[in-house]
A and B are shown apart, each in its own frame.
Chain A
Amino acid sequence: MHDLVARHLLAQAPPVPDPETVDLARLQFALTAGGHFLFVALTLGLALVVACLQTRATFSRSALHARMVRFWGQLYVINYAVGIVTGIVMEFQFGMSWNGLTHYAGNVFGAPLAVETVAAFFVESTFLGLWIFGWHRFNRWAHLAMIWVVTLTALLSAYWILVANGFLNHPVGHAEEGGRLVLADAGALMTNPSTLLAFGHILGGALLTAGFFVAGVSAYHLFRRTPEWEFFGKSLRIGVFLALPALLVTAAFGGVQFAELASLQPMKSAVFSQEAADMARLQAELTARFGPGDYVPSEAWTRGGGLTMLISFALMLYLGIGNVVLASVRTTLYRFRLWHLLLMASVPLPYLAMISGWIFREAGRQPWVVYGLLKTEDAVSGLSPGAMRASLITFTVLFALLIAVNWWLLLRCARRGPVDAGLGHDDREDAEEHTHGSAAPLPLARY
């Protein structure tokens, strides 16, 4: 029976998918990966902010910083939780909708995903549980070590995902044997320039997102003149002083990636700069090499994505410089309410830049899923359009709801300010049921 199953499962040529299935599967991947990516952007950056704050609080025993850990940590955990649940869908999606990719490139592409889940995410989740539920239970140094393990494994997780993504964008370290890819050089795979540059770029982008978020939330409290002026004055400065260098790092890695494009993915480069002659020449070259087909990615998405990213970068650069100046002066920091409004309004800017940069990267490499090796349309599972549509609708509705709930809760908790509920609350003091609505302000000297 085993042989029968094996023959059935593996020997059979993958059925040719319906063109509609291809479009639906692409749309689902774009929406779910994009949604997940936006959660990750904030989580990754905020984790580093929280870990640094807790380090400061642990070393100095500063009550103010301990309160900051709990307040920003609370927002971090909410965003993280919703990010995890969207990530679950991502992991299974490769096998569900893109089994042509696992068939052809699984030997190379699967390994970084496996390492990510076990060596990064597994460790990260275990320690995150310890950190959240271990407040007041472990000594403060052990508790500090926990958030650092969470933060560093989160970065490791991003790295391994980008090893997989970098391979799709610029395949290296592989060889083809019997119509399938095999791993030839793990070192080349792990030091792929497409991976390392993207990692630096994403890391900068995540810190930028966190910087604008922290500054925006703090500006709200300063604008409303809530009693927590010292807490949010300091927090605003952290956000603003983090955002500008993060922006410069992001831009530097982005610039190098742009320069590399001409050699790694010349067609993307040509489409972005609207070089019609280059595009025609490359189309002819690629047709000669890979057979007839359309090798020009969507100009609207590629160019639109690239331009949106550059415009939001320029806006953030001007804002970032102005923010640093205004935050350095005590009077403007606490009293310039128009600026506070501007800071709140600019929270979405890094998100816009992140998502449009991602569209530029991924839409611009079409029609390839593994650049130059496997076309997107050949990677889709042989599913009926009906099944694909059902999953597209399910996951889109689910993700839209999760994004809405996430922001509703984030804004609610952000507006409420540092109250003694939720993360880090010492439940040993709860004799009876704790009601969140009437939570007392965070006490000063407790950690």
Chain B
Amino acid sequence: METLALTLLGFFAAGYFVLGGADIGTGMLLARLGRNDAERRLVLASFAPFFLGNEVWLIATAGLLIGAFPTLEGELLTGQFLVVLPLLTGWVVRDAGLWLRGRTGGRGWRTVCDAAVVGGSWAVALSWGWLLCALFTGTPDRVATGPVAVLCALAVASLFAVHGLGFAALRLTGAPYERARRLVGRGGPWQSFALTSVLMAAVVVSAGAGLPWAASAADGATLSLLVPALLVVTALLVVVQAWMWHAFRKRVTRPSYL
């Protein structure tokens, strides 16, 4: 059961990094890809129907962590308190910017929201790099410091950005598409996106591999109820999410609700 729980956890975490990472990365490049208000709305439309469904992969990761590995969840989040703080703040600010940008007409308001999306996305990506650094260096109980932490944060954030760029090149049209396409470079956007997807999943799974899972798993009675139920729901969810991606698969040519 522990192995199953851990596999499911890895699946959720990798799902978040690949799917959520794509819209976070695109958000980081919002100002670079969209030069005016209409273009920026188009960039947002590229991931608009997906971002809520993408970020819940992380909510599910955290939920499974507290359900199946409660002790580790507590120790990890407390140990990384000062990293999780900017991560959550960035996430909240970014989402508020996304959701509320289109709800009123003022140009000033939309500029504030664009700044919230870009700043929030960067804060999330950098915090992930910082947090993963502590896992890679084998010190999950304390915040990583020093040049290694800075380098790791920048490297992971760049990976998010490149991943988002590939996604944008696959989803956009018009001037923002041209910009994304130029930045992707000679390799095609599909190759670039596939490569960054593998890297994103590999980064989070390998970072988590060093944690003491077996020693912190929940009691057998809890796991034997929790894991089978979640497996069934997860299978259904993957089908629904696949359907959602299929329904909105076309490149975006006009702004959407956001």
Contacts and interface: CB of A to CB of B under 8 A. Distances in A.
Contacts of B140: 5, 9
Dominant SS at the B interface? helix
Interface residues of B, number: 77
Contacts of A5: 138, 140-141, 210-212
A115 B89 contact: no
Contacts of B141: 5, 8-9
B208 interface: no
Interface string B34-74: 00011001000000111111011101101111111011111
B77 interface: yes
Nearest to A386: B82
Given A2-B212, A102-B70, A436 B102 contact: yes
Given A115-B229, A184-B221, A1 B138 contact: yes
In order of increasing CB-CB distance, the 4 nearest A-B pairs are A106-B70, A114-B67, A117-B63, A99-B74
Interface in B81-124: 81-82, 84-85, 88-89, 91-93, 95-96, 99-100, 102-105
B240 A186 contact: no
Given A110-B222, A129-B50, A81 B100 contact: yes
Contacts of B38: 433
Interface in B205-241: 210-212, 215-216, 218-219, 221-222, 225-226, 229-230, 233-234, 236-237, 240-241
B254 interface: yes
Given A92-B62, A118-B230, A133-B248, A110 B53 contact: no
Contact of A10 (B72, B78, B99): B72
B257 interface: yes
Interface in A280-324: none
Contacts of B100: 78, 81-82, 405, 409
A373 B13 CA distance: 33
B70 A398 contact: no
Contacts of A132: 49, 257
A435 B38 CA distance: 10
B105 A435 contact: yes
Contacts of A115: 63, 67, 226, 229-230
Contacts of A344: none
Given A116-B63, A138-B247, A127 B74 contact: no
B244 interface: yes
A106 B218 contact: yes
Contacts of A121: 56, 59-60, 63
Nearest to A427: B254
Nearest to A142: B247
A378 B78 CA distance: 15
A422 B257 CA distance: 6
Interface string A415-431: 00000001101011010
23 contacts: A5-B211, A78-B99, A82-B99, A85-B91, A95-B62, A95-B78, A96-B78, A101-B74, A106-B66, A110-B70, A110-B218, A115-B226, A117-B62, A119-B230, A125-B56, A126-B56, A126-B244, A127-B240, A130-B247, A177-B219, A182-B222, A390-B85, A391-B81
A155 B38 CA distance: 37
A78 B55 CA distance: 18
B256 interface: yes
Nearest to A128: B52
A151 interface: no
Contact of A130 (B49, B103, B234, B255): B49
B66 A94 contact: yes
A382 B81 CA distance: 11
Given A129-B52, A433-B37, A381 B74 contact: yes
B63 A88 contact: no
A6 interface: yes
A111 B247 CA distance: 33
B104 A409 contact: yes
Contact of A430 (B74, B247, B255): B255
A430 B105 CA distance: 16
A394 interface: yes
Given A126-B240, A183-B221, A422-B103, A394 B89 contact: yes
B87 to A, nearest CB: 9
B96 A82 contact: yes
Interface of A: 1-6, 8-10, 77-78, 81-82, 84-86, 88-89, 91-92, 94-103, 106-111, 113-119, 121-123, 125-130, 132-134, 137-138, 177, 180, 182-184, 186, 381-383, 387, 390-391, 394-395, 398, 402, 405, 409, 412-413, 422-423, 425, 427-428, 430, 433-437
B239 to A, nearest CB: 10
Contacts of B104: 409, 412-413, 436
Contact of A382 (B60, B78, B92, B221): B78
A181 B11 CA distance: 28
B234 to A, nearest CB: 7
A130 B76 CA distance: 34
Contact of A129 (B53, B63, B226, B234): B53
Contacts of B82: 387, 390
A381 B226 CA distance: 26
Contact of B230 (A100, A114, A177, A427): A114
Contacts of B178: none
Given A119-B233, A433-B255, A113 B78 contact: no
A138 B105 CA distance: 28
A2 B73 contact: no
Interface string B130-141: 000000001011
Contact of B237 (A113, A122, A430): A122
Nearest to A99: B74
A102 B66 contact: yes
A125 B53 contact: yes
A88 B88 CA distance: 8
A202 to B, nearest CB: 20
B81 A111 contact: no
Given A99-B75, A184-B221, 16 more contacts: A6-B216, A9-B72, A9-B76, A81-B95, A81-B96, A81-B99, A92-B84, A95-B66, A103-B74, A116-B63, A118-B64, A133-B256, A390-B85, A422-B257, A436-B104, A437-B105
